[in-house]
Amino acid sequence: MRTKIVAGNWKMNKTHSETESLLTELSAKRPDTTAEIIVAPTFVNLAAAREQLSDSIIQVAAQNMHFAENGAYTGEISADMLLDIGVETVILGHSERRAHFGETDDLLAKKVKTALNKNMRIIFCFGEELEDRKSGNHFSVVESQLKNALFDLAATAWKGIVLAYEPVWAIGTGETASPEQAQEMHAFIRKAIADNYDGATANSVSILYGGSVKPNNAEDIFSKPDVDGGLIGGASLNCGDFIAIVKAI
Ligand code: PGA
Protein backbone atom coordinates (compact mmCIF):
# COMPACT_ATOMS: atom_id res chain seq x y z
CA MET A 1 0.00 0.00 0.00
CA ARG A 2 1.31 3.41 -0.91
CA THR A 3 1.57 6.02 1.82
CA LYS A 4 0.08 9.49 1.99
CA ILE A 5 2.71 12.18 2.26
CA VAL A 6 2.76 15.92 2.82
CA ALA A 7 6.21 17.39 2.25
CA GLY A 8 7.28 21.00 2.72
CA ASN A 9 9.98 22.30 0.38
CA TRP A 10 11.32 25.36 2.15
CA LYS A 11 13.60 26.32 -0.77
CA MET A 12 16.04 29.18 0.10
CA ASN A 13 14.00 30.40 3.06
CA LYS A 14 14.37 30.46 6.86
CA THR A 15 17.49 31.25 8.86
CA HIS A 16 18.73 28.96 11.62
CA SER A 17 16.58 30.60 14.30
CA GLU A 18 13.53 30.79 12.02
CA THR A 19 13.94 27.11 11.23
CA GLU A 20 14.04 26.28 14.92
CA SER A 21 10.89 28.26 15.69
CA LEU A 22 8.89 26.90 12.76
CA LEU A 23 9.82 23.33 13.73
CA THR A 24 8.88 24.00 17.37
CA GLU A 25 5.50 25.30 16.23
CA LEU A 26 4.94 22.45 13.77
CA SER A 27 5.81 19.84 16.40
CA ALA A 28 3.35 21.36 18.84
CA LYS A 29 0.52 21.68 16.35
CA ARG A 30 0.84 18.67 14.10
CA PRO A 31 -2.32 16.57 14.03
CA ASP A 32 -2.38 12.85 14.67
CA THR A 33 -2.20 11.38 11.23
CA THR A 34 -1.05 8.24 9.48
CA ALA A 35 0.28 10.40 6.66
CA GLU A 36 4.00 11.05 6.53
CA ILE A 37 5.04 14.63 7.23
CA ILE A 38 8.35 15.75 5.75
CA VAL A 39 10.15 19.11 5.85
CA ALA A 40 13.06 20.12 3.66
CA PRO A 41 14.97 23.06 5.15
CA THR A 42 18.08 24.46 3.50
CA PHE A 43 21.38 22.53 3.79
CA VAL A 44 22.97 24.64 6.56
CA ASN A 45 20.02 23.96 8.84
CA LEU A 46 19.53 20.26 8.12
CA ALA A 47 21.66 18.88 10.95
CA ALA A 48 20.01 21.11 13.53
CA ALA A 49 16.55 20.30 12.16
CA ARG A 50 17.30 16.60 12.32
CA GLU A 51 18.53 16.98 15.90
CA GLN A 52 15.49 19.01 16.94
CA LEU A 53 13.13 16.42 15.40
CA SER A 54 14.98 13.35 16.68
CA ASP A 55 11.95 12.22 18.71
CA SER A 56 9.36 13.46 16.24
CA ILE A 57 7.49 11.70 13.48
CA ILE A 58 8.21 14.73 11.28
CA GLN A 59 10.93 13.68 8.85
CA VAL A 60 13.68 15.80 7.36
CA ALA A 61 14.67 15.79 3.69
CA ALA A 62 17.38 17.55 1.68
CA GLN A 63 16.49 19.68 -1.33
CA ASN A 64 19.26 18.35 -3.57
CA MET A 65 22.54 16.40 -3.60
CA HIS A 66 25.45 15.65 -5.91
CA PHE A 67 25.84 12.33 -7.74
CA ALA A 68 29.51 11.84 -6.89
CA GLU A 69 30.72 9.97 -3.83
CA ASN A 70 33.03 12.87 -2.87
CA GLY A 71 35.74 14.99 -4.44
CA ALA A 72 36.46 18.27 -6.17
CA TYR A 73 32.91 19.63 -6.51
CA THR A 74 33.06 22.99 -4.76
CA GLY A 75 29.79 23.92 -3.10
CA GLU A 76 28.19 20.52 -3.43
CA ILE A 77 26.82 18.02 -0.88
CA SER A 78 27.16 14.24 -1.04
CA ALA A 79 24.80 11.44 -0.09
CA ASP A 80 27.15 10.29 2.67
CA MET A 81 27.13 13.76 4.21
CA LEU A 82 23.34 13.69 4.35
CA LEU A 83 23.20 10.15 5.72
CA ASP A 84 25.79 10.99 8.34
CA ILE A 85 23.46 13.58 9.87
CA GLY A 86 20.47 11.24 9.63
CA VAL A 87 18.87 12.66 6.48
CA GLU A 88 17.69 9.75 4.36
CA THR A 89 15.35 11.48 1.92
CA VAL A 90 16.31 13.83 -0.89
CA ILE A 91 14.29 15.92 -3.33
CA LEU A 92 15.70 15.58 -6.85
CA GLY A 93 14.75 17.21 -10.13
CA HIS A 94 12.86 20.21 -8.79
CA SER A 95 11.94 22.52 -11.68
CA GLU A 96 13.95 25.35 -10.10
CA ARG A 97 17.05 23.12 -10.20
CA ARG A 98 16.28 22.28 -13.81
CA ALA A 99 15.58 25.89 -14.84
CA HIS A 100 18.17 27.87 -12.85
CA PHE A 101 20.97 25.35 -12.38
CA GLY A 102 20.86 23.49 -15.68
CA GLU A 103 19.92 20.09 -14.28
CA THR A 104 19.09 17.74 -17.13
CA ASP A 105 17.38 14.36 -17.23
CA ASP A 106 20.82 12.74 -17.73
CA LEU A 107 22.27 14.43 -14.66
CA LEU A 108 19.19 13.50 -12.66
CA ALA A 109 19.47 9.87 -13.75
CA LYS A 110 22.96 9.84 -12.19
CA LYS A 111 21.74 11.46 -8.98
CA VAL A 112 18.88 8.97 -8.75
CA LYS A 113 21.26 6.03 -9.09
CA THR A 114 23.60 7.38 -6.42
CA ALA A 115 20.76 8.01 -3.99
CA LEU A 116 19.31 4.54 -4.55
CA ASN A 117 22.74 2.91 -4.17
CA LYS A 118 22.96 4.63 -0.81
CA ASN A 119 19.49 3.38 0.15
CA MET A 120 18.11 6.90 0.27
CA ARG A 121 14.53 7.73 -0.53
CA ILE A 122 13.97 10.11 -3.42
CA ILE A 123 11.18 12.61 -3.97
CA PHE A 124 11.53 12.95 -7.74
CA CYS A 125 10.02 16.12 -9.24
CA PHE A 126 9.01 16.66 -12.83
CA GLY A 127 6.31 18.49 -14.76
CA GLU A 128 5.57 20.37 -17.94
CA GLU A 129 5.99 24.05 -18.78
CA LEU A 130 3.04 26.23 -19.70
CA GLU A 131 3.85 26.04 -23.45
CA ASP A 132 3.82 22.25 -23.25
CA ARG A 133 0.34 22.29 -21.79
CA LYS A 134 -0.92 24.90 -24.23
CA SER A 135 0.37 22.88 -27.16
CA GLY A 136 -1.09 19.66 -25.76
CA ASN A 137 2.36 18.09 -25.27
CA HIS A 138 2.13 17.80 -21.48
CA PHE A 139 1.68 14.03 -21.40
CA SER A 140 4.61 13.34 -23.72
CA VAL A 141 6.88 15.78 -21.86
CA VAL A 142 6.09 14.16 -18.51
CA GLU A 143 6.53 10.68 -19.93
CA SER A 144 9.93 11.53 -21.37
CA GLN A 145 11.10 13.08 -18.08
CA LEU A 146 10.19 9.83 -16.31
CA LYS A 147 11.60 7.63 -19.04
CA ASN A 148 14.95 9.46 -19.20
CA ALA A 149 15.60 9.53 -15.47
CA LEU A 150 13.74 6.55 -14.00
CA PHE A 151 12.42 3.93 -16.40
CA ASP A 152 15.67 2.00 -16.72
CA LEU A 153 15.63 1.24 -12.99
CA ALA A 154 14.77 -2.24 -11.75
CA ALA A 155 11.18 -2.61 -10.52
CA THR A 156 12.51 -3.24 -7.00
CA ALA A 157 14.21 0.18 -6.98
CA TRP A 158 10.80 1.89 -7.04
CA LYS A 159 10.28 1.25 -3.34
CA GLY A 160 12.80 4.07 -2.84
CA ILE A 161 10.96 6.54 -5.06
CA VAL A 162 8.17 9.01 -4.42
CA LEU A 163 7.03 11.01 -7.44
CA ALA A 164 6.06 14.68 -7.31
CA TYR A 165 4.20 15.94 -10.36
CA GLU A 166 4.67 19.69 -10.39
CA PRO A 167 3.44 21.55 -13.46
CA VAL A 168 5.92 24.42 -13.77
CA TRP A 169 3.15 26.91 -14.56
CA ALA A 170 1.59 26.23 -11.15
CA ILE A 171 4.72 26.61 -8.99
CA GLY A 172 4.74 29.78 -6.92
CA THR A 173 2.23 31.39 -9.28
CA GLY A 174 -0.95 30.96 -7.28
CA GLU A 175 -2.34 29.12 -10.28
CA THR A 176 -3.08 25.51 -9.33
CA ALA A 177 -3.87 22.62 -11.60
CA SER A 178 -7.52 21.79 -11.08
CA PRO A 179 -8.15 18.60 -9.11
CA GLU A 180 -9.30 17.06 -12.42
CA GLN A 181 -6.11 18.08 -14.22
CA ALA A 182 -4.02 16.67 -11.37
CA GLN A 183 -5.96 13.41 -11.33
CA GLU A 184 -5.75 13.07 -15.11
CA MET A 185 -1.97 13.43 -15.07
CA HIS A 186 -1.46 11.24 -12.00
CA ALA A 187 -3.52 8.46 -13.59
CA PHE A 188 -1.45 8.85 -16.77
CA ILE A 189 1.78 8.58 -14.73
CA ARG A 190 0.56 5.49 -12.91
CA LYS A 191 -0.39 3.88 -16.21
CA ALA A 192 3.03 4.72 -17.67
CA ILE A 193 4.67 2.94 -14.73
CA ALA A 194 2.31 -0.03 -15.12
CA ASP A 195 3.13 -0.22 -18.85
CA ASN A 196 6.88 -0.10 -18.22
CA TYR A 197 6.84 -2.34 -15.17
CA ASP A 198 3.64 -3.86 -13.80
CA GLY A 199 0.44 -2.92 -11.99
CA ALA A 200 1.75 -3.79 -8.54
CA THR A 201 4.73 -1.46 -8.93
CA ALA A 202 2.50 1.32 -10.28
CA ASN A 203 0.07 0.95 -7.39
CA SER A 204 2.79 1.03 -4.77
CA VAL A 205 4.27 4.41 -5.80
CA SER A 206 3.11 7.53 -3.97
CA ILE A 207 2.50 10.33 -6.46
CA LEU A 208 2.38 13.80 -4.91
CA TYR A 209 1.01 16.93 -6.55
CA GLY A 210 2.91 20.21 -6.21
CA GLY A 211 2.17 23.72 -7.40
CA SER A 212 0.36 26.36 -5.33
CA VAL A 213 -1.25 23.89 -2.93
CA LYS A 214 -2.90 26.01 -0.23
CA PRO A 215 -5.25 25.32 2.69
CA ASN A 216 -8.24 26.27 0.50
CA ASN A 217 -7.52 23.84 -2.35
CA ALA A 218 -5.64 20.98 -0.66
CA GLU A 219 -8.67 18.90 0.27
CA ASP A 220 -10.11 18.88 -3.26
CA ILE A 221 -6.77 17.94 -4.80
CA PHE A 222 -5.99 15.27 -2.18
CA SER A 223 -9.44 13.72 -2.60
CA LYS A 224 -8.51 12.44 -6.06
CA PRO A 225 -7.76 8.71 -6.15
CA ASP A 226 -4.30 8.92 -7.73
CA VAL A 227 -3.11 11.91 -5.68
CA ASP A 228 -1.26 10.61 -2.64
CA GLY A 229 -0.34 13.94 -1.10
CA GLY A 230 1.50 17.12 -1.88
CA LEU A 231 4.85 18.82 -2.19
CA ILE A 232 4.25 22.24 -0.73
CA GLY A 233 6.42 25.33 -1.33
CA GLY A 234 5.16 28.73 -0.19
CA ALA A 235 2.45 27.43 2.13
CA SER A 236 4.94 25.21 3.99
CA LEU A 237 6.70 28.30 5.36
CA ASN A 238 3.73 29.19 7.54
CA CYS A 239 2.85 26.82 10.38
CA GLY A 240 -0.91 27.38 10.22
CA ASP A 241 -1.08 26.87 6.46
CA PHE A 242 1.12 23.78 6.46
CA ILE A 243 -0.80 22.17 9.33
CA ALA A 244 -4.10 22.92 7.56
CA ILE A 245 -2.74 21.14 4.47
CA VAL A 246 -1.60 18.17 6.58
CA LYS A 247 -5.09 18.04 8.09
CA ALA A 248 -6.57 18.05 4.58
CA ILE A 249 -4.93 14.72 3.86
P1 PGA B 1 4.55 26.30 -4.36
O2 PGA B 1 5.87 25.43 -4.66
O3 PGA B 1 3.69 25.49 -3.43
O4 PGA B 1 5.05 27.56 -3.74
O5 PGA B 1 3.89 26.51 -5.68
C6 PGA B 1 5.80 24.04 -4.86
C7 PGA B 1 7.17 23.51 -5.12
O8 PGA B 1 7.97 24.21 -5.74
O9 PGA B 1 7.52 22.38 -4.71
Q: What is the DSSP string of 130-141?
A: HHHHHTT-HHHH
Residue of the CA atom closest to atom 9 of ligand 1: 233
Q: What is the pLDDT of residue 174?
A: 81
Work out the average pLDDT over 5-22.
98
Question: What's the rounded Cα separation, in Å, for the pair 69 and 247?
Answer: 39
213 lines ligand 1 (CB under 6 A): yes
128 catalytically annotated: no
166 catalytically annotated: yes
pTM: 0.97
pLDDT tens-place string over residues 43-74: 999 999 999 999 999 999 999 999 999 999 99
pLDDT tens-place string over residues 84-141: 999 999 999 999 999 999 999 999 999 999 999 999 999 999 999 999 999 999 999 9
231 lines ligand 1 (CB under 6 A): yes
CA dihedral 151, 157, 160, 164 (to 10 degrees): 10
